[in-house]
Structure 1
Amino acid sequence: MPATTIHLVRHGEVFNPNHVLYERLPDFHLSSRGVRMAQATARYIAAHSGLNHAAAVYSSPLDRTRETAGEILKALNSVREERGEQPLELTTDERVIEAGNEFRGKRIGHGDGALWRPENLRLIRNLHKPSWGESYDHIGQRMSDFVYEKVGEYPGEQVIVVSHESPIYSFRHLMETGSAEHWMWKRHTALASVTSFTFDSETRELLAVAYADPAAGVQ
């Protein structure tokens, strides 16, 4: 029975000294610690006998995910070169992008442009079903469309996908409970973590979910 594993990797820490809710805004890059986190996860992937045989690497088109994926590709392609294999290239896909959010550009804090102003708080009506942006159901569905497409494209293979906290956890919650809706405070998706979903390549039945946090000790 061939199995396909889709590894959803969260990007590393972002340089954000002004505490902006950056959502899908451009020019938010990894911090120096974020780069080290991405490198730690890249080393973990390169050393893992299954992961380092990945057939493809995908990411969201945003800066922070592409930079994280770049570190992973450097480590993977070094191993592939030693084995005499062709290097992998990054493919971006809009379906694994960060959640849409009406608060993008707001700051966590006080003063003009701060999130906690009355006109902004009026949008927060139900934390379980976001009223301020893209619903968890929609996030889960687009992630599901992407993942099942790749299960079909790469039977028996490993695929690495660099995405964001909300899409990764919404998809996991959908797979484990049948619903993408969840409490954001209960997410278990650390920076640069790897959440892996293994499917029967023929029936597309979910066989296992695994989680690793290779960058937990990065300072």
Structure 2
Amino acid sequence: MPATTIHFVRHGQVYNPEHVLYERLPGFHLSERGVRMAQATAQFVAENPATQSLAAIYSSPLDRTKETADIVCQAVNQARRVRQEKPLSVQFDQRLIEAGNNFRGKRIGRGDGALWRDGNWRLLTNLMKPSWGESYRSIASRMTDFTYEQVARYPGQQILVVSHESPIWTLRHLLETGRPEHNMFLRHAALASITSITFDSSTQKVLGITYADPAGGVQ
């Protein structure tokens, strides 16, 4: 029974001293700590027998995920050269992008541009929908489209996907509970963590889900 494993990696910490809700805005890059987090996860992926034999690497097209994916890809290719294997390149897919958020560009805190000004708080009526942006069902739809497409494309192989907290957790919650809606404050997908989902390549049934946090101790 061939099995396909997709390793979903969340990007590293973002440099955001103004505490802006950056959503899909350009220009938000990894912080110095975020780079170190991505490097720790990259080393884990390159050295761990359970993750080192990748057939492809995909990423959301946003700056922070592209940078994380590039760091992982460099480490993976360094290990592949030692094994005399063909190097991989990062492929981008719009379906992996961050969830849409009506608060984009607002700041968490006080002063001009703060989230709580101009009546924005009125959108905070339903944590499970969510009422302030793209629905969890929409996120789940695009993530499952991408996921099952790759399961069919890479039977019996492993791929790595760099995305964002909300898409990764929404997909996992759907696969584990049958519904995408969840409480955002109860997510379990730390920065630069790896959520690995293994599927039966023939039936697309989930065989197992594991989680690793290689960058959890990075300062």
Under a length normalisation based on structure 1, what TM-score does the superposition of the two structures give? 0.99
Mapping of residues 22-41 of structure 1, within 5 Å: 22-41=22-41
**Unpaired stretches in structure 2, ≥5 consecutive residues:** none
Deviation, structure 1 residue 119: 1.4
Give the letter for the 1:103 counterpart.
Answer: F
Is the CA contact 1:23–1:104 (under 8 Å) kept in the aligned structure 2? yes
RMSD, aligned CA:
0.6
Deviation, structure 1 residue 106: 0.2
Is the CA contact 1:195–1:212 (under 8 Å) kept in the aligned structure 2? yes
Mapping of residues 184-203 of structure 1, within 5 Å: 184-203=184-203
Partner of 2:101: 101
Give the letter for the 2:120 counterpart.
Answer: N
Give the letter for the 2:145 counterpart.
Answer: D
Moved segments of 4+, more than 2 Å: none
Mapping of residues 147-166 of structure 1, within 5 Å: 147-166=147-166
Give the whole-Å Cα distance in 1 for the aligned partners of 2:78 and 2:118: 52
Give the whole-Å Cα distance in 2 for the aligned partners of 1:83 and 1:213: 26
Partner of 1:90: 90
Mapping of residues 1-219 of structure 1, within 5 Å: 1-219=1-219
Give the whole-Å Cα distance in 1 for the aligned partners of 2:15 and 2:156: 37
Deviation, structure 1 residue 125: 1.0
SS of 2:52's partner is helix
Give the whole-Å Cα distance in 2 for the aligned partners of 1:8 and 1:137: 19
Percent of pairs identical after alignment?
65
Give the letter for the 2:37 counterpart.
Answer: M
Q: C-alpha offsets along residues 74-102 of structure 1, whole Å, 9 cap, x if unaligned?
A: 10000110111111000000001000001
Give the whole-Å Cα distance in 2 for the aligned partners of 1:50 and 1:81: 18
Give the letter for the 1:149 counterpart.
Answer: E
Is the CA contact 1:137–1:180 (under 8 Å) kept in the aligned structure 2? yes
Give the whole-Å Cα distance in 1 for the aligned partners of 2:100 and 2:168: 14
Q: C-alpha offsets along residues 162-190 of structure 1, whole Å, 9 cap, x if unaligned?
A: 00000000000000000000000100000
Give the whole-Å Cα distance in 1 for the aligned partners of 2:213 and 2:50: 17
SS of 2:4's partner is strand
Deviation, structure 1 residue 118: 4.8
Give the whole-Å Cα distance in 1 for the aligned partners of 2:65 and 2:164: 8
Deviation, structure 1 residue 51: 1.1
**Unpaired stretches in structure 1, ≥5 consecutive residues:** none
Aligned residues between the structures: 219
